[in-house]
Homo-oligomer: A and B are copies of this chain.
Amino acid sequence: MEHFDFASDNTAPATPEAFEALAQANSEAHVPSYGADRYTAQAEELFSALFERQVKLFFVPTGTGANALAISALRKPFESVFAAPESHLERDETAAPEFFSHGLKLQLAGDSRGDKLSIAAMQHWLKLNRGVHSAQPRVISITQATELGALYSLEQLDAIHAFAAQHQLLIHMDGARFANAVAASGSTPAALTWQRGVDVLCFGGSKNGVGLSEAVVFFDPARAEDFAWRRKQGGQLASKMRWLSAPWLGALKHDHWLQRARHANAMAQLLRQGFIERGLELAVETQINGVFVRLGEQQAAALHLKRWHFYKFLEPDVYRFMCAWNTREDRIAALLDDLST
């Protein structure tokens, strides 16, 4: 038997509360399609409450589509986007942002580790600007939390916001693990987003146990005015929209979404502790639900032989173990046992 527990937070199913909400919505015989239904309307209300502000909300079925469309909505073909070299946008999207955004250049501007943006690096690009011969910077894409499980602090977000304001740049936040970021930071969703100048957030449902649904959240309705057309044209408008919106009703009730994220984060701490106790070295701090640990080749091979699935994330020896809303302590123990022997 294969063990996918720690391969990705994508291997987990939807949570019971999300699935139950979907089941209930699916039991209604006839519902308007394309988002004109009451489940979707209610979801927008819940999101507005959550973010302490009236938002414009668009559900889409994939994270790739969410990020690529959100970015294309903020810019023109000759305008570029600052992103970190280790961002999902740059590393894991098969040039989907470039595909959706006719003529996109991602300007890589990372810190030394590569998962966070560096203001110095962005400033460097601005200096190199050659007018009509250069794609013009227009958007900053922040991943919160990053692909290496790191959080931008409020101070870091403020600094980016100030830089953006100074140079008339817009801010996109890739929140594939936004729930984990909220849980870990102790900040409110509002504090992490529009209060730091974020213009559009892609709030990931998939990794938070909400099934197959990502929420594109616009904090300024004016920016969202044509997004309905972009979503349709980009193949991201689901006819049975209740399948995308209803699971969020379950997730947002009683703060389930946050508790699920907290659990995942806590499991990562447990796993991290186990690694440390077994003398392993962590490659980066464990701030959310992923643990990045250095393994010898033999250690990794031994775990693979015992059918644990996990990926090498950074050369030469950093491996990633992800926890999810349904990660169990006994499975962590099993993994650690298999590591020891």
A: residues with CB less than 8 A from B are 3-5, 7-8, 10-14, 19, 23, 25-34, 60-65, 68-69, 76-78, 80, 91-96, 98-100, 102-105, 124, 127-128, 130, 132-136, 206, 211-212, 226, 228-230, 232-240, 242-244, 309, 315, 324, 326
Is the pair B99, A77 in contact by a Cβ cutoff of 8 Å?
yes
Is the pair B95, A104 in contact by a Cβ cutoff of 8 Å?
yes
A155 nearest CB across to chain B (Å) = 28
Using Cβ atoms and an 8 Å threshold, which residues of chain B touch A33?
Answer: 7-8, 10-11
What is the bound-complex CA distance between A92 and B212, given in angstroms?
A: 24
Is the pair B96, A103 in contact by a Cβ cutoff of 8 Å?
yes
A324 nearest CB across to chain B (Å) = 8
Taking A62-B238, A212-B243, A237-B62 as contacts, is the C-beta distance between A96 and B232 under 8 angstroms?
Answer: yes
Is the pair A135, B95 in contact by a Cβ cutoff of 8 Å?
yes
Using Cβ atoms and an 8 Å threshold, which residues of chain B touch A134?
Answer: 91-92, 94
What is the bound-complex CA distance between A239 and B64, given in angstroms?
A: 10
Judged by DSSP, the binding face of A is loop
Minimal Cβ-Cβ distance residue in B for A33: B10
Is the pair B31, A13 in contact by a Cβ cutoff of 8 Å?
yes
Using Cβ atoms and an 8 Å threshold, which residues of chain B touch A133?
Answer: 92-94, 232
Is the pair B77, A230 in contact by a Cβ cutoff of 8 Å?
yes
Using Cβ atoms and an 8 Å threshold, which residues of chain B touch A25?
Answer: 13
Is the pair B92, A130 in contact by a Cβ cutoff of 8 Å?
yes
Taking A10-B240, A95-B78 as contacts, is the C-beta distance between A4 and B32 under 8 angstroms?
Answer: yes
What is the bound-complex CA distance between A147 and B182, given in angstroms?
A: 46
Using Cβ atoms and an 8 Å threshold, which residues of chain B touch A105?
Answer: 95, 98
A16 nearest CB across to chain B (Å) = 9
Using Cβ atoms and an 8 Å threshold, which residues of chain B touch A63?
Answer: 239
What is the bound-complex CA distance between A318 and B221, given in angstroms?
A: 37
What is the bound-complex CA distance between A91 and B229, given in angstroms?
A: 14
Of the A-B pairs whose beta carbons lie under 8 Å apart in the complex, a sample of 8, sorted by A's number, is A7-B32, A62-B237, A77-B233, A92-B134, A94-B133, A94-B233, A95-B103, A212-B212
